Each structure stands twice: as structure tokens, then as C-alpha cells.
């Protein structure tokens, strides 16, 4: 087995506060790949069903803590068919600005790519410790994703063994909108991914979580030795 690979991603930002966002596909999506969408929004509601699940997609987790956090994040996955069925429009219940990434992953399990999902983390600081997950198989690709209360959270950085930031974005520079980021870690052996600690440019609320994508099943490389009769 080998760790799944991020092949590319595409950023989409909302034009204004809204209750939906059509997330543009990343270029080069092909049938059989795992595709992910990570979306961060400036939301005040604490609703478990704040984010709806589009037809043909699977929700990994949506975390909308509400209150003073005033930020939310959600992620989805699907096995790509390589056509318009891979399109996605994310909807939610309260108008807000949003940023989202459409992510292509190769080398993931062909039918059940999601290995494990963490729990939502709510923080209000410049330091946002995102609790790790425990993978169940070797060679997973772990992800963290974070939504921040305000465009002024950008730029971000991450610390924690093996973690690296992949992308970050802001709706604008003001404190009344949204920014966010995501990153990955190659998890060679099954077990804990460890905390990913994201540092934001200003102190404010953030919503975050981790999840992990499982690798494709190992090929059967066993050698079949024929039996007699020999001549």
C-alpha cells in the first residue's frame, strides 16, 4: 500500500453572504478518484444540521459551534465519476460568506475511502489545537480543516509532527467575514495522528476537525506454485 496523494485542488469563494455555494471542480477529475470538499463559513448558529448533504455526496463532518466562535467548517467526500455528477453545491441555513476547496485524491480506497472522522473543536485564540484521530490501517492520509471568524485570521501556519499546510484563503481582510485553511499528514502506521496546532494572524474564534483517508487495498502479489504431476 501507499499513502493517498492530493493531486490538485480548486478554491471557490462566495460573492457575498448567501446560503449556498457552487464549488468549482478541480481540473483533471477522473473516474475512480476520491474527491473532497472542505468549506469554511462565517456562521453564528449552533446547529448540528447547519450544513446539508448534497445528493451523491457523503458528509464527513460539519462543525458549527455558534455563539462567540462565529465560524464553521464542513467536509464531504465522494468517488468521482469524471463528469457533471461530481459537481457540488453546498447549502446551509443562515446567510454567510464562505470559502471552499475542491480536492482531488488519488490512491484512496476504491469504495470506502474515509478511514476515520474526528470530533469538532472550538477555540478562540491565535493558537487552535485540532485534536488528532486514530487511524485503523497503515498508510492513511490525515487531514485537518479549519474555519475562522473573519478574513483577518489569514495568514495561517501549522505545527505538529508531520503536519503541513496545503492551502489557506480569506474572503476579504476584514474581521466580519471568513477565512480558513487545510493541510495533511502522511500516517505511515495505524495509530494517532497527533494534534495539529494552527496559528492565526489574530485572536478570534475557529471551528476545526481532523479526518483520515484510507489507502487502496494492497495488490495480491502472492505467487501460485503449480502442483504435479511432474514429467
**What integer pLDDT is reported at residue 41 of this predicted model?**
95
CA-based torsion, 142, 147, 153, 154: positive or negative: positive
225 domain-assigned: no
12 domain-assigned: yes
221 domain-assigned: no
Q: Which domain holds residue 106?
A: 5-213
Quote the Cα angle for 225-229-231, to 5°.
Answer: 105
Q: How far is CA 35 from the centre of its chain?
A: 10
User: What is the number of structural domains in the chain?
Assistant: 1
**What integer pLDDT is reported at residue 49 of this predicted model?**
64
187 domain-assigned: yes
Task: Please state whether the predicted TM-score (pTM) of the whole model is above 0.85.
Answer: yes
92 domain-assigned: yes
Count, in order, helices (H) and strands (E) of the chain.
0, 14
192 domain-assigned: yes
220 domain-assigned: no
**What integer pLDDT is reported at residue 229 of this predicted model?**
45
Block residue for cell numbers 462565517: 42
Residues of the chain predicted below pLDDT 70 = 47-49, 218-231
218 domain-assigned: no
Distance from C-alpha of 213 to C-alpha of 193, rounded to nearest angstrom = 12
**What integer pLDDT is reported at residue 217 of this predicted model?**
77
Q: What is the pLDDT of residues 125-153, one digit of tens each?
A: 999 999 999 999 999 999 999 999 999 99
Amino acid at each position: 500500500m501507499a499513502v493517498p496523494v492530493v493531486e490538485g485542488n480548486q478554491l471557490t469563494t462566495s460573492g457575498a453572504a448567501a446560503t449556498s455555494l457552487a464549488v468549482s471542480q478541480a481540473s483533471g477529475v477522473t473516474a475512480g478518484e476520491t474527491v473532497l470538499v472542505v468549506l469554511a463559513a462565517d456562521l453564528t448558529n449552533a446547529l448540528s444540521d447547519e450544513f446539508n448533504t448534497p445528493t451523491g455526496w457523503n458528509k464527513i463532518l460539519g462543525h458549527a459551534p455558534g455563539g462567540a466562535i462565529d465560524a464553521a467548517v464542513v467536509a464531504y467526500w465522494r468517488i468521482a465519476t469524471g463528469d457533471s455528477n461530481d459537481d457540488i453545491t453546498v447549502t446551509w441555513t443562515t446567510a454567510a460568506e464562505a470559502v471552499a476547496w475542491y480536492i482531488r485524491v488519488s490512491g484512496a480506497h476504491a469504495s470506502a475511502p474515509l478511514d476515520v472522522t474526528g470530533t469538532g473543536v472550538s477555540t478562540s485564540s491565535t493558537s487552535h489545537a485540532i485534536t488528532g484521530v486514530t487511524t485503523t490501517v497503515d498508510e492513511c492520509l490525515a487531514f485537518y480543516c479549519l474555519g475562522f471568524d473573519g478574513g483577518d485570521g489569514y495568514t495561517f501556519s501549522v505545527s505538529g509532527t508531520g503536519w503541513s499546510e496545503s492551502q489557506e484563503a480569506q474572503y476579504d481582510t476584514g474581521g466580519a467575514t471568513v477565512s480558513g485553511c487545510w493541510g495533511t499528514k502522511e500516517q505511515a502506521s495505524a495509530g494517532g495522528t497527533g494534534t495539529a496546532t494552527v496559528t492565526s494572524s489574530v485572536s478570534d474564534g475557529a471551528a476545526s476537525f481532523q479526518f483520515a483517508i484510507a489507502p487502496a487495498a494492497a495488490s495480491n502479489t502472492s505467487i501460485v506454485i503449480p502442483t504435479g504431476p511432474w514429467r
